[in-house]
Structure 1
Amino acid sequence: MIPSQGTRGFRAYTAKHLDELLGRAGFDGDARLRVRAVATVLPFRTNAYVVDELIDWSAAPDDPIYRLVFPQEDMLPKADVSRLADLLRDEASAAQLKAVAAEIRMRLNPHPAGQLELNVPRVGLETMEGMQHKYPETVLFFPKQGQTCHAYCTYCFRWAQFIGEPDLKMASDDVGRLVSYVGEHPEVTSVLLTGGDPMIMGESVLRRYVEPLLQVEQIESIRIGTKSLAYWPARFVTDPDADATLELFAEVVRSGKNLAFMAHFSHPRELESPIVEEAVRRIRDTGAVIRTQAPIIRSINDSAETWASMWRRQSTLGMIPYYMFVERDTGPQDYFAVPLVDAYEIFRDAYAQVSGVCRTVRGPSMSATPGKVCVDGVTEIAGQKVFMLHFIQARDPEIVGRPFFARYDPEAVWLSDLRPAFADRFPFEPDLEAAPLARLSA
């Protein structure tokens, strides 16, 4: 049943509610303490819809949606968890906890793919905060008011946005500088609003970021990266400003620009609720296009049947399957990562189960420093077993779509684990001397 419109009813749960919520999963006191220890390092936030409608508490802690939003004890090294748990048990000061948590975070590669160093555009010597000019035609913008989410995914590669460290956060409320920057770079045709989650913002705030972009003739598409359809579909159905938000979407389309709604769905259960179906219908009625994406995550969606089910349901609802990503080299990657060879097999087996209308999806794709690297398969060439790969997108447009090869490694989980086959270097490595550094940063 879909509730009536006009009352938001949103209730967030944060780390201060964690001990109470863990009781539902049957954790004893020591186990709860160790999970709370992990939550001092990695951010935790969920809401009543996820807790009451999506999680199967009878299956927790093995339930995939539970694992999707709740910290797990083994997401961090055992010694780190014990150290933090001891501090919590001894009622250490907030300053002590913060210092130890900060030390551990810096070992987790909080900003992968050179996000702070390589992507942030500059005008002269001045850094354009809250922006990334990631690819020639694409600029990412991080609205200041969108730097949280309706709930946090435990695998999120942007976890550093949510831990309260200003030096690690990307955010801006200066849309005028964004418009000026785009105007000075005619190659930019697409702007992606990301975060956090831009759909955490109310319509009046979101409008302040979107409307100025409608006046920039060269912009062909405005993208919104969001998990809101999975975590708070009421945003588009029953929230007080749901209709106004949808009217803003329609205005974008009427202006002649493509509005691409980049929806993150990690598991089929997120697509089951009637309110999700209604939210999707209402968004599509504005003329916006909904594309779906998520990483492949161990213990949550690492099966071909799960992905095939998601893609079929998404296609039935009129959404376009877009990307299967590989878990990035950040945060609890060791806990969630799926070896590249397994990710490829899962993708291939799922792809084989669906009709052509679902085969718009691409993957498994690594969003690494040089670009989005797709694993096309494993084969044998000249007696050598190799990975076949290509760039779906790249900082250097010259290498987009060109196949290249890496030595087969059944344990590899990321681009930096791979070594070139039939060559001394990968195509994104400028020369032999730079190759080792390039691999380390990929």
Structure 2
Amino acid sequence: MKTNSYQKENGIIKSVAELNRTLLLSRGEVRKLEEITKHHPMAVTPHYLNLIAPENPHDPIRKMAVPSAAELSLQGSFDTSGEKENTKLQGLQHKYAQTALILITNQCAMYCRHCFRKRLVGVAGEEIARDWSAIINYIEEHEEINNVLLSGGDALTVSTATLEAILERLVEIPHLSYIRIGSRIPVVQPSRINDDDELIQMLRYHGRRKRIYLTTRFNHPLEISQESREAIQRLQRAGLVVNNQAVLLKDVNEDPDIMAELMTSLTRIGVVPYYIFQCRPVRRVKDAFQISLPQAADIIDQVRNRLDGLSKRFRFIMSHKTGKIEILGRNGNQMFFKYHQAKEPALAGRIFSKEVDLDEGWFNCQDDDEDDLLPCQE
């Protein structure tokens, strides 16, 4: 496993012994955490650790950052959205016609325990972009692509110089309308933004040449610290449009009041509520964080009932192998869905219904489905 230079340079906590100095873990907890981190490493920023209430073992911030015994479960898979089959070049995915996704790093400031790319973040670099000439050529040759999403890992953990070199090449492509950057840095390490004037100046400069959107990952209102608000404001003043993708997570934000407070708090600071995602059935994530689809639909209905129009602009989405499926609601066991985005053009915009078991959390495609265009039940 390669050393994570970003984490080393920023004093990020990576060992159970370091964590124990703040959270005062029991011997049993220490043993469990050491076993879990053999499979999936731990990394917690000092900023994020300060958001945890150390006396509360059920603290929602803690659950997103600190390993738990539920991560030993092997239910689920490591590629739930079909990223492998949509990879055209190393580090370049092209699932939807208009969007190219580039994995520019496998590093994150913090390893979120609910990460859907657990197979690679902090572990493996085989899926990360290397041949930038080939990637740029691919995008140039596919004029249907109107936007590029820089992801990883966390796109803001690369150096400012590296990010600038990437943006410099992308802004020159005429048929790109805008560039997106995916990052949880405003949440877990806002000093990366607040203390780096060079980063802000660089984003402002390239944002004048091509619109830049930054998608954050706030999942709980307690994550919106003063430092995070300042980071968001600096990005906005630099001309970036900031939106947010949250994930519905068991024991974190499934309380409708909490999720509604998150959406309202984001809107208050000018962050657009973009998506709420159904938690994916990722191995070592599913058992710890996923809520069943019927329960999730009820929660989101209650959240929307608590919000004004601006705060409920989000779509509730299952990021499935076949596309982004909007979860519209349910009537008993019958649930209603719509393809918000689809890998196959024939599915675009299609509305369908399915009978869903009360404990079902995802669709798992099988060969015997009566309609092979639609995702089938587990």
Where in structure 2 are there 5+ consecutive unaligned residues? 1-7
Return the offset for 1:43: 2.4
Return the offset for 1:25: 3.4
Distance in 1, Cα, partners of 2:298 & 2:334: 14
Return the offset for 1:12: 0.8
Larger Rg: 1
Return the offset for 1:115: 1.4
Aligned with 1:259: secondary structure?
strand
Partner residue, 1:424: 370
Distance in 1, Cα, partners of 2:12 & 2:191: 14
Query: Structure 1 residue 37 and structure 2 residue 5: aligned?
Result: no
Alignment equivalent of 1:251, drawn from 205, 209, 222: 205
Return the offset for 1:19: 3.0
- Letter in structure 1 aligned against 2:346: E
Matches within 5 A, 1:31-430: 31-52=29-50, 54-59=51-56, 61-77=57-73, 109-116=77-84, 118-121=85-88, 128-143=89-104, 146-166=105-125, 169-238=126-195, 242-255=196-209, 257-271=210-224, 273-331=225-283, 332-363=285-316, 365-379=317-331, 385-416=333-364, 424-425=370-371, 427-428=373-374
1:359-409 CA deviation, whole Å, 9 max, x = no partner? 21110x1111000111101126xxxx4110011111123322221011132
- Say whether the 8 Å CA contact 1:55–1:65 is kept in structure 2: yes
1:11-32 CA deviation, whole Å, 9 max, x = no partner? 1111xx2134235434322331
Distance in 2, Cα, partners of 1:120 & 1:410: 34
Where in structure 1 are there 5+ consecutive unaligned residues? 1-7, 78-103, 122-127, 430-437
Distance in 2, Cα, partners of 1:165 & 1:212: 26
- Letter in structure 2 aligned against 1:232: Q
1:94-137 CA deviation, whole Å, 9 max, x = no partner? xxxxxxxxxx6xx7522222211x1111xxxxxx1111012111
1:148-194 CA deviation, whole Å, 9 max, x = no partner? 1110110000111135345xx41013322221101111111110000
- Say whether the 8 Å CA contact 2:183–2:216 is kept in structure 1: yes
Return the offset for 1:278: 1.3
Q: 1:23 to 1:286 in 2, by over 3 A?
A: closer
Distance in 2, Cα, partners of 1:47 & 1:32: 19
- Say whether the 8 Å CA contact 1:409–1:418 is kept in structure 2: no
Greater helix proportion:
1
Higher relative contact order (CA 8 A, sep 6+): 2
Equivalent residues, number: 370
Return the offset for 1:419: 12
Distance in 2, Cα, partners of 1:206 & 1:174: 15
Return the offset for 1:417: 8.3
Distance in 1, Cα, partners of 2:117 & 2:9: 27
TM-score, normalised by the number of residues in structure 1: 0.79
- Say whether the 8 Å CA contact 2:108–2:121 is kept in structure 1: no
Q: 1:439 to 1:129 in 2, by over 3 A?
A: farther
Distance in 2, Cα, partners of 1:72 & 1:172: 31
Aligned with 2:299: secondary structure?
helix
Q: 1:214 to 1:20 in 2, by over 3 A?
A: closer
- Say whether the 8 Å CA contact 2:106–2:124 is kept in structure 1: no
- Letter in structure 1 aligned against 2:96: Y
Return the offset for 1:252: 2.7
- Say whether the 8 Å CA contact 1:43–1:162 is kept in structure 2: no
Q: 1:38 to 1:345 in 2, by over 3 A?
A: same
Return the offset for 1:9: 8.1
Distance in 2, Cα, partners of 1:37 & 1:234: 31
Distance in 2, Cα, partners of 1:267 & 1:211: 34
Return the offset for 1:342: 1.2
Distance in 1, Cα, partners of 2:191 & 2:131: 29
Q: CA RMSD in A?
A: 2.2
